[in-house]
């Protein structure tokens, strides 16, 4: 089990920057998810760790070992590909045992009995007993996925890499496999890197989440942190639902005050510690729908007035789409809340739940001393909030 | 949204809508656009090439301006290049790469250079290339008399000629017209096979490839016999029509017109293969979407299907262009017409040896011009070959094709059309078959038939030549497979600097005329250990290896394209080295494609002419079959002569037929790899 | 966690590959070294020849069965078959013992280059005594300056044309009897359809000989005019086989032929007939010689002995060979008696008083001759045909008279003038002799001369055409 250190990584393809300024430590034994929309660079990062790409800049360490230049077959990583990549001309057994046959330790290799034994063990682990002699096209999607997993695990890698392994499965199977993966990962306590675009998946299985967009890591923290204290507008938007309100800072302090375009003033707090806010700076206030309530709970609560233009009944909640001036906002209320289309509504949001976020995305992060991105001159900055 | 539609209704249709134009006009217009597009494409390519050369020159000048700094930059680039190289390649691949470079360097580049070096030097106070330009026959020229394309003769035979415009223009415009014919026919057949189901389709698919069967030496005689004014076809037609009391006007093709006819009809198979590959890799949903929006039938074809298939069609078109401009066989057939002699390939051929048997510098100088055109077209193809799959890739091009069943009546009409076209296309092959069964040719309508010509197959010299040829081809094919698969793998999977150059190198034999290479071999290697006086065997095998290399490379490459890289990555990931991955994962997965490529290379080796002829003459006990076909043809009956030579030609055609049929089956949609690009 | 019982020694693939490669290389070396060595004492005779394979196989089998071959342990004949222009290179490469077939000019060139052995051993003198010095006025032996024979004819050929009777009948053409007949305007009356097939001189030595017959027999200028008139009605083919084929497939009515091609066509195609032009042909000896200083002199001489024996000569009569022997006695052998038809042709050939042919002149001008021919007849063919056709059409339309046609044709065919280095040269015998060597040795010079000749010819044809048009 190793800790993965990524230092200053950058990978370009021609003129396109796939990923840049990556500084992360992935703790041993933990499951880290790389989360983001298509094209954000998460798969690139995964493949960098696996060794299929050589970074243009930066180093990769497994514990103290610099593996940046080491070819993929010598890195002791086990990768599970998005399309499984099972070899069609081999049976399940051969697919799995292939890696074991390759393994050499001091010029010694595994005996056939040892191979059979180990393969059987891992087949049990992934619940694929009895299917060892099938060929890939005789297997269902879920079964193929498990074989791919088994293949990666049987070689006892230091790192397990999973590239959107569940995206080709139906919802129920996905749920099942998710549980399996978590179970196996905990059991073997193997450092795992998981790539997905599905935030629910990410939040439910991960120890740490790295949210990525356009090649940059926006935030690397636990799922709770990511949800409750997003550090950029992108993260706030990508995880869960959020209402965003543009505002201008009127005063600083532990709770900042900001004025909305239509004159209302809200007070909130920034999850970004250390960011040098300034009076007059344009910011965006984010508030989760469930934090917008119909009742005032504290005198310091913000009061927000608007006109409801759509009410959606969700069974467990009532989703209210309303307009504050020109701004669209969403609120989640109990299902029996008295609200209908066209009503004037008044909602309250506690100060602590209004998150003030600077515009500028990744560039904003650069201004924070102590942040991994601090004082890294953006190469050719292609990011925008 | 509601607002917009209201406005439209109230206004007159004139502002937004326009009358639908005449279908005929539309068709003409798009055909015109197609042709214009093709030539614009070629022109653009030429301009881009010129610009690229210019940039190279500018860069060179810039380099020279501050050599020190630039040398350092260059050496840095070189060093990082070496690093990449070391990282990507391991010992086995390095050996493979070295082997390929050595083989090609010695057996392709060296002879080529030897032959052309003379053309760029000053000989007897003359710069050879300029010599050519002083000869008016090369320069563009024409006179009103040259435009008489149809020449009726008092003998009752109507002669159809081409237009003489000087050697260089002749070659170019003939190749251009041949390309148009080949594209028209090839695309038509490709669309037919790709999109329609009808009885006998499988047979037709194979027969469409037969124009590719080569018929060295005897084909020429056969073509003349069939197409002559008093030849077989004219006699048949005359007899047929006189039954109805009509007189048939005898037609005879001459000069450039004859070349256009014969080449166009034999090269369309190449375009067919490439166009077919393209048509079947079009994602059906693209067409379905268009249909959903209202397009159908010919409009659909014109606006969606054809443009999507363009890369493959264009690749085939350019290949046809190159092969036409380089073709020596057809001009020789019609060489009694001065026009036919006035093309680049023929001029190279007659000017290549001097009286003393050494290499004249004039032939290679002309060869350089030819090579320049061929290479330009060749570079253009590579661009298209890379782009060939607009719409495939994600699923590997294996959709359920959208095919329609043809009604019985349509099938009959189709066959009428197709059979007549194929009849003309297969004249060389059919004439050889008929020749092999003919006792002699005379003015009689149908020659007396006999099986005696096939007695030549019992001849011990011939049998020896056959076994020898098969072993030469076999050994060469083994070498081709070993080196070719290595080359394909290095080119497609190893990201070393100079990858493109390697690709060009191994596919270039298609663009280089055989006579030039043969001449190079003779001058460079005669009486050296490679080619001892009486033993051309080694050099013959090497010549096969180098000249027929591209087919296996391309087939292996096609196989590699269909094998996702991720298969190899998975193998690397679990700890297998590059070589193990290659042996255990790649080879089984591309094995079939490689087999197809190997078969093709084998059969093309057997029918190779230029070097076989020249080298075989050194010792005919080691000469291959094509040499013997020539010797047999020049001999006299009853043992030798044209009949027996035709029998050998039939033998050779049967071998090729078997291989091509099998390969077509194996390669299926990627059968375009058979053409070597 | 790996327990010790799970491991075993692994194979190192690298070492295996290296071993395989070494084994393969060693194996190849062993195979090459242990190639069956030539049996002790077995002899091979190497013959460089222009004769085709039928001749090679027949004579090889026959020779190897002779006592001489058996006594001298000759087990094989190695045939080399390069084109004439490569002969020098091949002989220089070494290993060739005998030269056989290819026409006197080629052999005279070989003599000029010093490749021929003098045949003055006792054995050879006996053999040579059997061969007549002359047949129908043509040399059957060639001597060097010391009077020693350096080549001897092993067969004879005559030159004529093959007619296709079907073609002639279809288009109402007469049966020609002489070369001058072929210059008649009637042969151009169905142009653009050609009626005659002529071989382009550089591509065929036999057809070249025919043209030399005309220029020597009719006189240089008249010969060229005759050729021009024929060429105007003809298509020029790039080889004697193609020329012959044209007559066989009824593409033309008349094709220039050497006798054995003509006879072969006659046998195989009922429409074809070989015609010997009356008093306008020559007999050609087809030489055999020994390469100078060959180590296998005795064997070579033995071969010549065989070829020049009546029995050996009788093999010329084999079907598919159809050659005339140089020894009339061949017809009296057992096999010879089976071919009375060939005997008839032989006698007719001998009886035909041909022209007096000057082999030396041929040798001295050969290169210039053939390239001049190509330049003015092949490379300028379009204009030549246009001009001749115009003349013929005008004649048949009675716009010009026959003498006028002859006059114009003379202007058309007369050898052209070119300006080289500011001096004007007409293509006379003297000029041809003067430039012959340069044409042979310098590609550039040859190319330049050809370009000049073609241009001059085109201009000449245009001029004649203009004159014709002004006359009608």
| pLDDT value at residue A354 | 87
Of the given ranges (A157-161, B11-15, B67-71, C384-388), which has the lowest mean pLDDT?
Answer: B11-15
DSSP letter, residue B359 = B
A269 and A219 in one domain?
Answer: no
Residue C198 pLDDT grade (very low, low, confident, very high; cuts 50, 70, 90):
very high
Chain C residues with CB-CB distance to B357 below 8 A: 85-89
Tokens linked to B359: 């290499």
Of the given ranges (A162-166, A201-205, B389-393, C233-237), which has the lowest mean pLDDT?
Answer: B389-393
Please tell me the distance in Å from A122's CA to the nearest CA on chain B.
Answer: 15
Chain C residues with CB-CB distance to B527 below 8 A: 93
Interface test with B, best of A73, A91, A150 (most B CBs within 10 A): A73
* Cross-chain Cβ contact C250/B636 below 8 Å: no
Would you call A57 an interface residue with chain B, using a CB distance cutoff of 8 Å? no
Residue A380 has pLDDT above 50, yes or no: no
List all residues 6 or more positions away from C128 whose beta carbon is below 8 Å from its beta carbon: C119, C141, C149, C152, C308
**DSSP H helical ranges for B494-548:** 499-507, 514-525, 537-547
Q: Which has the higher per-residue pLDDT, A306 or A78?
A: A78
Q: Which of A331, A306, A329 is nearest to A318 (CA)?
A: A331
Of C80, C319, C367, the CB nearest to B355: C367
Residue B388 pLDDT grade (very low, low, confident, very high; cuts 50, 70, 90):
very low
| pLDDT value at residue C388 | 95
Residue A92 has pLDDT above 70, yes or no: yes
* Cross-chain Cβ contact C192/B159 below 8 Å: yes
- CA–CA distance, C395 with C406 (Å, rounded to integer): 10
Percent of chain B with pLDDT over 70: 90
Percent of chain A as helix, strand, coil, to the nearest 5: 25, 35, 40
Q: Which has the higher per-residue pLDDT, B657 or B115?
A: B657
Domain end among A171, A197, A228: A228
Residue of A nearest to B565 (CA): A85
Other Cβ atoms less than 10 A from the Cβ of A126: the count is 22
Q: Which has the higher per-residue pLDDT, B604 or B357?
A: B604
Interface test with B, best of C172, C443, C454, C455 (most B CBs within 10 A): C443
Please tell me the distance in Å from B454's CA to the nearest CA on chain C.
Answer: 16
| pLDDT value at residue C460 | 95
What is the tally of structural domains in chain A?
A: 2
CATH code of residue A321 = 2.40.50.140
- CA–CA distance, B125 with B127 (Å, rounded to integer): 7
Q: Which of C295, C326, C35, C23 is nearest to C153 (CA)?
A: C326
Is A361 a domain residue?
Answer: yes
Chain mean pLDDT for chain C: 87
| Best mean pLDDT range from A187-201, B282-296, C22-36 | A187-201
Percent of chain C with pLDDT over 70: 94
Of the given ranges (A74-78, B74-78, B107-111, B219-223), which has the lowest mean pLDDT?
Answer: B74-78
* Cross-chain Cβ contact B577/A87 below 8 Å: no
Residue B12 has pLDDT above 60, yes or no: no
Residue B426 has pLDDT above 80, yes or no: yes
pLDDT in tens, B250-274: 899 999 999 999 999 888 888 888 8
| pLDDT value at residue C5 | 62
| pLDDT value at residue B674 | 64
Residue C354 has pLDDT above 80, yes or no: no
| pLDDT value at residue B125 | 60
| pLDDT value at residue B433 | 93
Residue B100 pLDDT grade (very low, low, confident, very high; cuts 50, 70, 90):
very high
Q: Which of A285, A292, A291 is nearest to A339 (CA)?
A: A292
- Classify domain C43-156+284-351 at the CATH topology level: D-Maltodextrin-Binding Protein; domain 2 (3.40.190)
Q: Give the residue-averaged pLDDT of A283-293.
A: 85
Interface test with C, best of A101, A102, A114, A118 (most C CBs within 10 A): A114
pLDDT in tens, C259-290: 888 988 888 788 899 998 877 778 888 999 99
Chain C residues with CB-CB distance to A117 below 8 A: 6
Residue C226 has pLDDT above 90, yes or no: yes
Residue C454 has pLDDT above 90, yes or no: yes
pLDDT in tens, B268-307: 888 888 888 778 777 777 787 777 777 777 778 877 788 8
Chain mean pLDDT for chain A: 86
Q: Which has the higher per-residue pLDDT, B128 or C328?
A: C328
| pLDDT value at residue B85 | 75
Q: How far is CA B29 from the centre of its chain?
A: 29
A306 and A167 in one domain?
Answer: no
Residue B63 has pLDDT above 70, yes or no: yes
C417-420 vs C423-426, strand pairing mode: antiparallel
Chain C residues with CB-CB distance to A105 below 8 A: 2, 7
Chains with 3 or more CB pairs under 8 A to chain A = B, C
Residue C6 pLDDT grade (very low, low, confident, very high; cuts 50, 70, 90):
low
Is A382 a domain residue?
Answer: no
B196-197 vs A243-251, strand pairing mode: unpaired
| Best mean pLDDT range from B529-543, B588-602, C109-123 | C109-123
A207 and A90 in one domain?
Answer: yes
A169 and A124 in one domain?
Answer: yes
Residue A375 has pLDDT above 80, yes or no: no
Q: Which has the higher per-residue pLDDT, B591 or C244?
A: C244
- CA–CA distance, B162 with B170 (Å, rounded to integer): 9
Chain C residues with CB-CB distance to B128 below 8 A: 444
Chain B residues with CB-CB distance to C164 below 8 A: 443
- CA–CA distance, B503 with B488 (Å, rounded to integer): 8
| pLDDT value at residue B8 | 43
Cα distances (Å, whole numbers) of residue A317 to A228, A244, A297, A321, A334: 20, 20, 20, 13, 5
**Range list of β-strands (E), C130-222:** 134-135, 138-139, 141-143, 149-164, 196-199
Of the given ranges (A267-276, B464-473, C151-160, C458-467), which has the lowest mean pLDDT?
Answer: A267-276
Of the given ranges (B81-90, B198-207, B580-589, C361-370), which has the lowest mean pLDDT?
Answer: B81-90
Residue C153 pLDDT grade (very low, low, confident, very high; cuts 50, 70, 90):
very high
Q: Which has the higher per-residue pLDDT, A177 or C412?
A: C412
Domain end among A210, A228, A246: A228
Please tell me the distance in Å from B660's CA to the nearest CA on chain A.
Answer: 26
pLDDT in tens, B500-555: 788 888 888 877 878 888 888 877 887 788 887 778 888 899 999 999 898 888 77
| pLDDT value at residue C427 | 92
pLDDT in tens, C60-69: 999 999 998 8
| pLDDT value at residue B659 | 82
| pLDDT value at residue B360 | 77
- CA–CA distance, B488 with B490 (Å, rounded to integer): 6
The CA dihedral of C419, C421, C423, C424, to the nearest 10 degrees, is -10
pLDDT in tens, B310-345: 777 877 888 888 889 888 888 988 998 998 999 999
Residue B3 has pLDDT above 50, yes or no: no
A297 and A239 in one domain?
Answer: yes
Chain mean pLDDT for chain B: 81
Q: Give the residue-averaged pLDDT of B469-485.
A: 90
A174 and A266 in one domain?
Answer: no
List all residues 6 or more positions away from A222 whose beta carbon is below 8 Å from its beta carbon: A206, A207, A208, A209
Q: Are C174 and C168 in contact (CB under 8 A)?
A: yes
Residue B652 has pLDDT above 60, yes or no: yes
Is A244 a domain residue?
Answer: yes
pLDDT in tens, A297-344: 888 788 888 888 888 888 888 888 888 777 777 888 888 877 788 888
* Residues spanned by the domain of A142: 4-228
Concatenate the DSSP letters of all residues of A48-112 into one string.
HHHTSS--SEEEEEETTEE-TTS-GGGS-EEEE-TT----TTS-HHHHHHHHHHH--BTTEEE-H
Residue C34 has pLDDT above 80, yes or no: no
Number of residues that this document lists for chain A: 385
Chain C residues with CB-CB distance to B579 below 8 A: 13
pLDDT in tens, A17-66: 888 889 999 999 999 999 999 888 899 999 999 988 889 999 999 999 99
Please tell me the distance in Å from A9's CA to the nearest CA on chain B.
Answer: 19
pLDDT in tens, B337-385: 998 999 999 998 888 776 666 677 788 788 878 878 877 777 776 665 5
pLDDT in tens, C358-412: 888 988 999 999 999 999 999 999 999 999 999 999 999 988 999 999 999 999 9
pLDDT in tens, C158-195: 889 999 999 999 899 999 998 889 999 999 999 889 99
Please tell me the pTM assigned to this model. 0.79
Other Cβ atoms less than 10 A from the Cβ of B530: the count is 16
CATH code of residue A84 = 3.40.50.300
Q: Where are the domains of chain C?
A: 43-156+284-351, 358-472
Contacts with B, A 149-208, CB within 8 Å: 151-152, 155
Is A377 a domain residue?
Answer: no
| pLDDT value at residue B13 | 52
Structural domains of chain B in order of their starting residue, each with its CATH number: 90-134+453-677 (1.10.3720.10), 146-450 (1.10.3720.10)
A198 and A149 in one domain?
Answer: yes
| Strand order, beta sheet including B157-160 | B150-152, B157-160, B250-253
Tell me how many residue pairs between chain A and chain B have CB atoms under 8 A apart.
Answer: 65
| pLDDT value at residue C394 | 93
């Amino acid at each position: 089990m190793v800790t993965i250190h990524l230092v200053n990584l950058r990978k370009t393809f021609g003129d396109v920057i796939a990923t840049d300024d990556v500084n992360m430590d992935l703790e041993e034994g933990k499951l880290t998810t790389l989360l983001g929309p298509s094209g954000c660079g998460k798969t690139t990062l995964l493949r960098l760790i696996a060794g299929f790409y050589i970074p243009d800049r930066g180093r990769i360490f497994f514990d103290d070992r610099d593996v940046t230049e080491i070819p993929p077959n010598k890195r002791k990583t086990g990768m599970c590909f998005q399309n499984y990549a099972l070899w069609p001309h081999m049976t399940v057994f051969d697919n799995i045992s292939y890696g074991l046959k390759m393994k050499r330790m001091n010029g010694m290799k595994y005996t056939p009995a040892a191979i059979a034994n180990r393969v059987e063990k891992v087949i049990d682990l992934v619940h694929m007993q009895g299917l060892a002699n099938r060929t890939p096209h005789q297997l269902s999607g879920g079964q193929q996925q498990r074989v791919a997993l088994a293949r990666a695990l049987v070689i006892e890698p230091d790192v397990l890499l999973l590239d959107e392994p569940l995206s080709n499965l139906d919802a129920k199977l996905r749920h099942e496999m998710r549980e399996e993966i978590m179970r196996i990962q905990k059991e073997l306590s193997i450092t795992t890197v998981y790539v997905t675009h599905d935030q629910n998946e990410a939040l439910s299985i991960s120890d740490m989440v790295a949210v990525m967009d356009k090649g940059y890591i926006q935030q690397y923290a636990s799922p709770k942190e990511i949800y409750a204290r997003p550090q950029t507008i992108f993260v706030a938007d990508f995880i869960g639902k959020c209402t965003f309100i543009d505002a201008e800072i009127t005063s600083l302090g532990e709770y900042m005050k900001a004025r909305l375009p239509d004159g209302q003033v809200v007070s909130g707090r920034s999850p970004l510690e250390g960011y040098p806010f300034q009076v007059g700076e344009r910011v965006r206030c984010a508030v989760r729908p469930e934090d917008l309530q119909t009742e005032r709970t504290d005198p310091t609560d913000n009061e927000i007035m608007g006109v409801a233009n759509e009410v959606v009944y969700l069974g467990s909640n009532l989703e209210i789409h309303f307009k504050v001036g020109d701004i669209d906002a969403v609120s989640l209320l109990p299902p029996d809340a008295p609200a209908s289309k066209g009503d004037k509504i008044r909602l309250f949001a506690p100060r602590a739940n209004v998150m003030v976020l600077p515009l500028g995305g990744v560039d904003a992060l650069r201004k924070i001393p102590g942040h991994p991105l601090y004082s890294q001159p953006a190469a050719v900055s292609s990011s925008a909030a | 949204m509601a607002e917009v539609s209201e406005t439209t209704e109230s206004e007159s249709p004139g502002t937004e809508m326009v009358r639908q134009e005449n279908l005929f006009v539309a068709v003409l217009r798009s055909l015109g656009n197609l042709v214009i597009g093709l030539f614009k494409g070629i022109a653009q390519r030429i301009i881009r090439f010129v610009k690229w050369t210019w940039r190279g020159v500018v860069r060179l000048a810039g380099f020279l301006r501050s050599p020190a700094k630039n040398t350092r930059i260059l050496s840095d680039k070189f060093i990082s290049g070496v690093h990449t190289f070391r990282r990507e390649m391991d010992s086995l691949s390095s050996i493979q790469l070295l082997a390929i470079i050595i083989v090609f360097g010695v057996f392709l580049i060296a002879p080529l250079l030897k032959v052309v070096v003379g053309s760029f030097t000053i000989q007897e106070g003359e710069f050879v290339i300029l010599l050519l330009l002083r000869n008016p026959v090369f320069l563009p020229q024409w006179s009103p008399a040259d435009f008489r394309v149809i020449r009726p003769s008092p003998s009752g035979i109507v002669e159809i000629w081409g237009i003489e415009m000087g050697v260089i223009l002749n070659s170019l415009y003939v190749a251009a017209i041949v390309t148009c014919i080949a594209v028209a026919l090839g695309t038509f057949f490709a669309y037919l096979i790709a999109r329609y189901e009808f009885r006998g389709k499988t047979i037709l698919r194979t027969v469409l490839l037969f124009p590719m069967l080569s018929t060295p030496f005897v084909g020429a005689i056969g073509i003349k016999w069939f197409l002559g004014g008093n030849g077989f076809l004219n006699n048949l037609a005359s007899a047929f029509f006189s039954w109805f009391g009509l007189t048939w006007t005898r037609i005879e093709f001459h000069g450039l017109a004859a070349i256009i006819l014969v080449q166009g009809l034999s090269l369309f198979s190449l375009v067919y293969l490439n166009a077919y590959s393209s048509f079947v890799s079009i994602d059906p949903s693209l067409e379905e979407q268009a249909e959903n929006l209202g397009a159908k039938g010919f409009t659909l074809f014109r606006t969606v299907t054809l443009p999507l298939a363009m890369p493959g069609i264009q690749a085939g078109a350019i290949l046809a262009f190159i092969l036409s401009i380089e073709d020596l066989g057809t001009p020789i057939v019609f060489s009694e017409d001065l026009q036919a002699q006035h093309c680049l390939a023929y001029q190279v051929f007659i000017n290549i040896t001097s009286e003393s048997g050494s290499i004249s510098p004039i032939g290679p100088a002309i060869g350089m011009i030819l090579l320049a055109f061929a290479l330009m077209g060749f570079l253009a193809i590579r661009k298209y070959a890379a782009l060939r799959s607009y719409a495939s890739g994600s699923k590997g091009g294996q959709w359920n094709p959208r095919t329609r069943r043809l009604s019985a009546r349509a099938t009959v009409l189709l066959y009428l059309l197709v059979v007549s076209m194929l009849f003309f296309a297969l004249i060389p092959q059919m004439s050889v078959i008929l020749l092999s069964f003919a006792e002699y040719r005379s003015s009689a309508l149908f020659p007396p038939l006999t099986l005696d010509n096939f007695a030549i197959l019992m001849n011990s010299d011939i049998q020896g030549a056959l076994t020898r040829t098969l072993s030469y081809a076999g050994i060469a094919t083994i070498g081709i497979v070993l080196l070719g698969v290595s080359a394909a793998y290095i080119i497609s999977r190893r990201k070393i600097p100079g990858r493109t150059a390697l690709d060009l190198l191994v596919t270039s034999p298609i663009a280089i005329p055989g006579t030039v290479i043969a001449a190079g071999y003779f001058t460079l290697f005669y009486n050296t250990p490679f080619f001892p006086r009486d033993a051309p065997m080694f050099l013959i095998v090497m010549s096969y290896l180098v000249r027929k290399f591209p087919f296996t490379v391309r087939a292996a490459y096609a196989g590699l394209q269909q094998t996702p890289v991720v298969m190899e990555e998975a193998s690397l990931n679990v700890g297998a080295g590059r070589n193990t991955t290659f042996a255990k994962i790649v080879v089984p997965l591309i094995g079939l494609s490689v087999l197809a490529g190997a078969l093709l290379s084998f059969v093309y080796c057997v029918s190779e002419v230029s070097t076989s002829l020249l080298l075989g003459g050194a010792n005919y006990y080691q000469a291959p079959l094509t040499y013997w076909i020539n010797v047999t043809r020049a001999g006299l009956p009853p043992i030798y002569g044209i009949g027996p030579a035709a029998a050998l030609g039939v033998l050779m055609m049967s071998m090729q037929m078997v291989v091509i049929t099998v390969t077509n089956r194996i390669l299926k949609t990627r059968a375009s790899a058979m053409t070597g690009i | 966690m790996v327990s010790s019982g799970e491991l075993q020694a692994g194979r190192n693939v690298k070492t295996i590959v290296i071993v395989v490669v070494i084994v393969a290389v060693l194996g190849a070396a062993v195979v090459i070294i242990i190639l069956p060595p030539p049996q002790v004492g077995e002899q091979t005779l190497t013959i460089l020849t222009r004769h085709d394979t039928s001749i090679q196989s027949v004579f090889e089998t026959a020779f190897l069965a002779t006592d001489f071959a058996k006594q001298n342990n000759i087990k094989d004949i190695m045939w080399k078959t390069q084109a004439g222009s490569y002969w020098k290179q091949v002989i220089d490469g070494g290993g060739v013992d005998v030269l056989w077939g290819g026409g006197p000019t080629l052999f005279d060139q070989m003599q000029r280059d010093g490749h021929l052995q003098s045949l003055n051993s006792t054995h050879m003198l006996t053999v040579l005594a059997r061969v007549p010095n002359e047949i129908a006025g043509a040399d059957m032996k060639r001597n060097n300056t010391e009077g020693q024979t350096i080549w001897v004819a092993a067969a004879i050929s005559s030159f004529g044309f093959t007619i296709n009777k079907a073609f002639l009948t279809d288009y109402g053409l007469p049966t020609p009897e002489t070369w001058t007949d072929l210059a008649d305007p009637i042969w151009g009356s169905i142009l653009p359809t050609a009626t005659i097939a002529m071989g382009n001189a550089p591509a065929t030595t036999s057809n070249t000989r025919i043209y030399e017959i005309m220029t020597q027999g009719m006189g240089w200028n008249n010969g060229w005019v005759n050729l021009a008139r024929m060429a105007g009605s003809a298509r020029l083919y790039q080889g004697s086989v193609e020329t012959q084929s044209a007559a066989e497939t009824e593409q033309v009515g008349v094709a220039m032929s050497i006798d054995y091609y003509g006879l072969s066509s006659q046998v195989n195609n009922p429409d074809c007939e070989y015609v010997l032009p009356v008093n306008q042909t020559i007999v050609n000896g087809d030489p055999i010689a020994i390469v100078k200083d060959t180590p296998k002199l005795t064997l070579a001489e033995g071969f010549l002995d065989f070829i020049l024996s009546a029995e050996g000569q009788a093999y010329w009569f084999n079907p598919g060979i159809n050659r005339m022997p140089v020894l009339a006695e061949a017809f009296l052998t057992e096999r010879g008696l089976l071919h009375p038809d060939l005997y008839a042709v032989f006698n007719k050939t001998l009886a035909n008083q041909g022209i007096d042919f000057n082999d030396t002149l041929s040798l001295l001008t050969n290169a210039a001759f053939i390239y001049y021919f190509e330049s003015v007849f092949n490379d300028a063919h379009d204009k030549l045909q246009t001009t001749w056709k115009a003349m013929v059409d005008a004649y048949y339309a009675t716009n010009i008279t026959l003498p006028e046609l002859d006059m114009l044709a003379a202007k058309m065919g007369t050898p052209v003038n070119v300006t080289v280095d500011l001096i004007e040269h007409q293509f006379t015998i003297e000029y041809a002799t003067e430039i012959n060597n340069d044409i042979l040795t310098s590609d550039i010079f040859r190319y330049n001369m050809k370009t000049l000749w073609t241009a001059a010819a085109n201009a000449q044809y245009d001029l004649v055409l203009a004159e014709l048009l002004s006359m009608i």
